[in-house]
Structure 1
Amino acid sequence: MHRHPHYATTLAQIGAGVSRRPDGALVVTRRLGPMRILWLPDPAVLPELRPLPGPALISAGDAAMDAALMGSGAIRVMTPQSRAVLALLQDEGRQRAGLAQKWRNRLNRADKAGLRLRHGPLPRNPQHWLLAAEAAQQRARSYRALPPAFALNWPETRLFTATWNGEAIAAMLFLLHAPGASYHIGWSGEAGRRLSAHTMLLWTAMRWLAARGITRLDLGPVDRDRAPGLLRFKLGSGAHVMDTGHTWFHSRFSAPLGRCLG
């Protein structure tokens, strides 16, 4: 997602400072208190670090970028993140065969529960009920995420909603960045959890995305210790865990130390 033009466009639209280096690396200007820091999210090739006009964080996308940054003067400051990534197949039978048995059973139960599903682009409405539900979830579970404006300004979105007895009981929002897509936010009420609505929503989204040529779905971070249930749900869909690279810090002052450590 970070390498797709939609990402830079969306950041610019919500007021972030974005630019491109001559080597093609996206640079986002961020502020940490009084300090300005540059952020390079998932560069495709090793960026030129010496010309950067200030301290920078580089989020390596994989182990290959980690290896390339060794000895560059950058210092590792954050460990890799684990993410669940799902390959989307045109063949529905093969896709279904990749589901875990318990996941498939929940899908069958949800299919028989009488849920009604609908989907369409996320309305550009800051008061949309899903954004309010996500804000409430953040407060209740003490986590932070991208602001609502990020989803509202993303050029291509798809919101899948499940209703039961006329009431919305679950929803999942995806950001499209062909040939990939990313799960962004979701919500489920008690009835949604009881009826496995998210299982049905994810399966429906998988098939809709695959039919439109999307081949890779990023289901977001996983944590084996803090959220084992969420990990099982994501992997049950046929996804695999993939690790990013480290996050690195570089400045002209710390570069000599970084070259020694590297």
Structure 2
Amino acid sequence: MKERAIVRFSILIFWTFFWGLSVADKIIPDVHNLWVGKDFFALFVKFFGSLGLKNPIFATSALAVVSALEVINFVFYLLAIINFSKKKGNIAEKWFFRAVFASMILFSLFSIADQVFGDRFQLLEHGLFWLILIASWFLFKYVTNSEDHAISFKNSRSFKFTVLIGFVLTIITSISIVDFSNKTFSNVDSPVTGEEVASGVFKFNFPFLADKLVWEKTINTFKDNHPELKINYIYTGPSELNSKKKTHLLLYVFTEKNK
């Protein structure tokens, strides 16, 4: 395979998987074994709620539109990579341009929404992706054909050694990931045990996989285990306190004795 073809194919692979996984994240928002989805509906409800639009129809409609646009993007990239694999370079280039243009529109909408909702971090991220799309198109379209050498790995000792090392590292990494997942997946639905840090004040360190269901189960379990206590306030700790810990959420529960 020629160097130019490898670069173009790599670009198509990246963006196809990027949008494919993004669509999958919308379809599977929950936490599963070896998969941690994001609850975009709750996020959209929060965003629109900050504008005073608390009716869930706004979040539902926005999420439906975004999901549809992402599916369209994914289909465009998929068609581009299919045609490229069939060595239909001109057709693949047309589909890739449509995909890039559609992605630019979507990231532009994301950036506008980030400014409206005041999410500066996401604004930076979406702006960078917009620039990367431009770079991807120019690299895909205008990468030079001069000195386009063919790359062959046949009978290459270094290639065989690299494949062997890569295979061993992949096996080791996969075993480590599966083992870690098996040990920590119980955090998905297990209540968190609190620690009394002051008189009547309990601290709960929620792990990364914990979601709102774990939060509810934790509070209910705490109330069942401490019937003599009455919960007065529940506060979430500032994110700065979690910077050096594998903690998703820091929760403080203020209680007093039942009278």
Same-fold status (TM-score > 0.5): no
Structure with greater contact order relative to length (CA < 8 Å, sep ≥ 6) = 1
Relative to the length of structure 1, the TM-score reads 0.21
In the superposition, the TM-score normalised over structure 2's length comes to 0.21
Higher alpha-carbon Rg: 2
Greater helix share, structure number: 2
Structure having the larger proportion of residues in strand: 1
